[in-house]
Structure 1
Amino acid sequence: MREIHGIDRIDRRILAALQTEGRMTTLDLAERVGLSPTATAERVRRLTRDGVILGYSARLDPGKLALGLLVFVEVKLDRTTPDVFDTFAAAVRRAPEVMECHMVAGGFDYLVKARVADMTAYRRFLADVLLAMPGVRETHTYAVMEEVKSEGMLPI
């Protein structure tokens, strides 16, 4: 087991439980980790205060919300300067279709993960949003045919 400063065995159990069921009551969580509800609540407050727990959210079915197409897009910028990076990052943050965006090392600058309704919606997103972003020189798109694993849980 990896050592993480300030995180003990019980904290790990709390984090693992909350990752699988974030709506669990403090009482249920306390029973699961073997602490009193008060001690459990204090640990959750500390983990939240320390930025280990970033928040809570519901996992939604994209297909039922007309967001069935998942794409990954490699983005190459025309220049790699701090001002171009900052401007591009700000534009990405404003695009609701973008679920994730990562600056990467290698043959391109950013990897964008986006969800849209279908290929027609993606074509519109590519033309009106991605290619309109400042500094974008080139893109390569990979449409997902099947999501094999999509959890978002950290191996703690």
Structure 2
Amino acid sequence: MPESATLDRFDHALLAAVQADNLTPARILAERVGLSESAVLRRLRRLRQEGIIVADVAVVHPAVLGTPLCLHVLVSLERETSDRLDAFVRGLRERPEVRAAWYVTGEADFVLELRLGSMADYEAFTHAVFHDDPNVRAFRTLVAMRQVVGI
């Protein structure tokens, strides 16, 4: 992962365009950013090779996958030693419900984004991941009612 990268206005314009729709043909991208099609293709290849574009993905509607419930959970740990942090993170990586997780500063140690089918599924998750881990001091759950910005 690059710590920093030197990007010009064309790179920024291309990145904005492919973040909105990564299936936009190079011909259209070229028109939008003011470059030739071959220059756009070269830049996109470089942005991928340098790790600036880290993935080309399809965002699937969660309800179709049976996971309409979106929860954000603030997790506080008892101790933040390296081994305990690593163990907690390993456990999160093994859970398909965890769509994203951040190690943060402030009132919590982690912020998790979860996708589940029901509150019963979340209750089972909390028992397996939080209640059964003696290093989890507390967790606070935020239930998303509706996404208002983003995909």
TM-score, normalization: structure 2? 0.88
Aligned partner of 1:140: which letter?
A: R
TM-score by length of structure 1 reads: 0.85
Measure, in 1, the Cα distance between the counterparts of 2:39 and 2:19. Answer: 19
Partner of 1:84: 84
Q: Match for 2:112: what amino acid? A: V
Q: Structure 1 counterpart of 2:30, which letter?
A: A
Which residue number corresponds to residue 154 of structure 1?
A: none
Shift of 1:20: 0.9
- Find the counterpart in structure 2 of residue 43 from structure 1: 43
User: Matches of residues 1-156 of structure 1 in structure 2 within 5 Å?
Assistant: 5-133=5-133, 135-151=135-151
Provide the C-alpha distance between the structure 2 equivalents of 1:101 and 1:37, rounded to a whole number of angstroms: 37
Structure 2: unaligned runs, 5 residues or longer: none
| 1:7-63, Cα deviation, whole Å (9 max, x unpaired) | 111111111110111112222322322222211111111111222111111111112
The one-letter code matched in structure 1 to 2:49 is: R
State the one-letter code of the partner of 1:104. Answer: V
Distance 1:21 1:104, change over 3 A: same
Q: Secondary structure at the match of 2:63?
A: helix
Aligned CA distance change for structure 1 residues 49 and 134 (closer, same or farther; 3 Å): farther
SS in 1 for 2:57: coil
8 Å contact kept, 1:74–1:109: yes
- Displacement of 1:115 in angstroms is 0.7
- Aligned residues of 1:88 and 1:134 also touching (Cα < 8 A): no
* Displacement of 1:88: 0.8
Greater alpha carbon shift after TM alignment, 123-132 vs 33-42: 123-132
- Count how many residue pairs are aligned between Structure 1 and Structure 2: 148
Superimposed CA distance per residue, residues 92-114 of structure 1 (whole angstroms, 9 cap, x where no aligned partner): 11111011111111222111110
Q: Please give the alpha-carbon distance, in whole angstroms, between the structure 2 residues aligned to 1:134 and 1:41.
A: 51
Letter in 1 for 2:23: R
- % identical aligned pairs: 35
Residue type at the aligned position of 2:57: S
Gaps of at least 5 residues in structure 1 are: 152-156
Aligned AA (1:115): R
Alignment-mate amino acid for residue 54 of structure 1 = V
How much does 1:64 deviate? 2.4
Question: Please, what is the CA RMSD of the aligned residues?
Answer: 1.8
